[in-house]
Amino acid sequence: MNQLESLKKFTKVVADTGDINAIIQYHPQDATTNPSLILKAAKLSVYRSLFKDALIYARKISGDKITKLSHASDKLAINIGIEILKYIPGRVSTEIDARLSFNKEQCIEKAKNLVALYQKHDIDTSRILIKLAATWEGIKAAEELKKEGIQSNLTLLFSFAQARVCAEANIYLISPFVGRIYDWYKKTLPLNHLYDIEKDPGVKSVKNIFNYYKQHRYQTIIMGASFRNKEQILALAGCDCLTIAPILLSELSNSNQPIEQKLFHPSTYLPQPTSLTESEFRWEHNKDTMAVEKLSEGIRQFTKDQEQLEAILAQEL
């Protein structure tokens, strides 16, 4: 049995890609997408018909060019999500425009629009996760959406404060970014010793969140994301979910080395603390320089990729 199949015994494996061929090859339970992955997918020939369909849809929308581009972008993301759902038994995560990350009401409106598009194609909400940046506004938007039966995946999560507020809001799922945390520490605070997976700051962050959630019996699902190497993945065997890019899925599937479960539920539990207020959250999050820099950088990068996608759509719209 290869490492990928062994990992599936301990953890739900999710494909971090919009590439249908990779999804068919590795048989994940769920799949996640984001503006960067949608941009890559839009350039694949296999999605050309979905791209054209998004343009046809947008041309029928009344409004200016910006409005039409927004609708074309949403429709393309939905088209790709629907195609992915044909090949997985679980959920697909579809991300809202990162430019809305600090506006709760606009996040809610965009999420409802995306869900409505899925529903027009007879896709039940039980198969959809709306991805939102884990800002205070994004978390509170997800809390409101949950009341209407729309579940969310809170992404770009770097600080313990983000993870704690998500749990306190009873968010369905969070995506702590292992690799991007590792990147920051590697660049900003170079270590003078050989790489030790047990000291990897991204791995340690997810382990800390996992232990806290399980000790306090929070129901929010933890899905480690953004991996830089296979060792980071294997060090988190036992985490609720791990979303993995095709290149690392390939490495796992091509290795037969034995793996062990690394994360376990506790034998004793603690009472849940009083929920953080907005000001307490902002203070705790902003004490973490890495988290502040990586969250803002992530929002900027997703925005850049969204704008590149819109530029491609605009050429043909």
Q: Which pair of structure tokens corresponds to residue 84?
A: 């992915």
Render pLDDT for 106-116 as a digit per residue (tens, 0 to 9): 999 999 999 99
Assess whether pLDDT exceeds 80 at residue 166. yes
Q: Which of 224, 222, 230, 225 is nearest to 249 (CA)?
A: 230
Q: Which residue has the tokens 């800002």?
A: 135
How far apart CA 190 and CA 15 sit, in angstroms, is: 31
Could you report how far apart the first and last alpha carbons of the chain are, in Å?
49
Q: Which of 169, 164, 254 is nearest to 210 (CA)?
A: 164
Residue 191 pLDDT grade (very low, low, confident, very high; cuts 50, 70, 90): low
Assess whether pLDDT exceeds 90 at residue 196. no
Assess whether pLDDT exceeds 90 at residue 266. yes
CB 155 within 8 A of CB 133: yes
In degrees and rounded to multiples of 5, residue 15 shows phi and psi of -85, 125
Out of 68, 75, 104, 131, the active site residue is 131
Report the pLDDT value the prediction gives residue 32, as an integer from 0 to 100.
93
- Span of 27-41, 89-103, 156-170, 234-248 with lowest mean pLDDT: 27-41
Render pLDDT for 16-65 as a digit per residue (tens, 0 to 9): 998 888 999 999 999 998 888 888 888 888 888 999 999 999 999 888 88
Report the pLDDT value the prediction gives residue 193, as an integer from 0 to 100.
61
CB 236 within 8 A of CB 263: yes
Residue 283's CB is within 10 A of a number of other CB atoms, namely 12
Render pLDDT for 111-141 as a digit per residue (tens, 0 to 9): 999 999 999 999 999 999 999 999 999 999 9
Q: What average pLDDT does this structure show over 253-282?
A: 97
Question: Does residue 131 have an active-site annotation?
Answer: yes
Assess whether pLDDT exceeds 80 at residue 242. yes
Assess whether pLDDT exceeds 90 at residue 208. yes
Render pLDDT for 66-98 as a digit per residue (tens, 0 to 9): 899 999 999 999 999 999 999 999 999 999 999
Report the pLDDT value the prediction gives residue 35, as an integer from 0 to 100.
87
Q: Which of 155, 182, 186 is nearest to 171 (CA)?
A: 155
Assess whether pLDDT exceeds 80 at residue 192. no
Assess whether pLDDT exceeds 70 at residue 218. yes
CB 221 within 8 A of CB 11: no
Q: Which of 221, 218, 186 is nearest to 202 (CA)?
A: 186
CB 225 within 8 A of CB 155: yes
Assess whether pLDDT exceeds 90 at residue 2. yes
Residue 9 pLDDT grade (very low, low, confident, very high; cuts 50, 70, 90): very high
Render pLDDT for 270-285 as a digit per residue (tens, 0 to 9): 999 999 999 999 999 9
Assess whether pLDDT exceeds 90 at residue 256. yes
What domains sit in the chain, N to C, each tagged with a CATH number? Answer: 3-316 (3.20.20.70)
Q: Which residue has the tokens 């992955």?
A: 37
Assess whether pLDDT exceeds 70 at residue 194. no
CB 24 within 8 A of CB 17: no
Assess whether pLDDT exceeds 90 at residue 188. no
